[in-house]
Amino acid sequence: MVGLGRETKLGRGKSSRRSRPTVLIVTNGEKTEIQYFEALKDEPWERSYHVSFKRGDPRNLVREGSLEKANSDYDTVWCVCDVDHYEVSNLIREARNLGVEVALSRPCFEVWLILHLRDFGRPLQNAKEAEREIKRILPRWDKAALRIEDFREGMAVALSRAKKLAEPPAGNPSTDVWKVVELLGTPEEDDG
């Protein structure tokens, strides 16, 4: 008899893996920021993310981030930028109006890296001074060749230290990068 065989379903079954919210990190930092976040992609974060470099000042970065969000499926867009020589007084409000988040560092992203290595609160005049401070702590430091091994172990303490500083752009030194890292969540344990 025809049709009395075992019934099969030809459709695909549902995936047992949960969907991970996605984050876009947009930065105008051509070297250090890109290297840092790209190196951390190997960690099993709760949220997946993509890193994108955009040229220009923080205001341009926020606008580019807004366009990326409008034309993609990203759940959240974070613009990671330095305060050092930019006027950013209205930037946070503009970012909120455009639906993106901003993680500022004053004077620069290197403040975030310093906090991985030691507690730090002395004002810094500019990015060059911040780089000199990292070199004092970590003599082999090379802005063009970030070694994530130098910073990975200090991430939790950097989060704690950064939260104690005044918020950028007023605080010097200061950084909001901890907010991005906290949003990514703690790296998940591999179920192996």
The CATH number linked to 127 is 3.40.50
123 in a structural domain: yes
Which pLDDT score, from 0 to 100, does residue 157 have?
97
With respect to residue 164, please indicate whether it lies within any of the assigned structural domains: yes
Q: For residue range 132-163, list pLDDT tens digits in order.
A: 999 999 999 998 899 999 999 999 999 999 99
Task: Say if 88 falls within a structural domain.
Answer: yes
Residue 163, burial from CB neighbour count under 10 angstroms (0-12, 13-18, 19+): middle
Of 85 and 134, more confident:
134
pLDDT at 19 over 80: no
Q: 191 pLDDT exceeds 80?
A: no
> Residue 2: is its pLDDT beyond 70?
no
Asked whether residue 98 is assigned to any structural domain, the reply reads yes
> What range defines the domain where residue 114 resides?
22-184
Residue 4 located in a structural domain: no
Q: Is 78 helix (H, G, I), strand (E, B) or coil?
A: strand
Domain count for the chain: 1
Please report whether residue 132 resides in a domain. Answer: yes
- Give residue 62's pLDDT: 96
pLDDT tens profile 98-111: 999 999 999 999 99
In a domain, 189, yes or no: no
Could you give the angle at which helices 177-184 and 155-164 cross, rounded to 10 degrees?
130
pLDDT of residue 17: 47
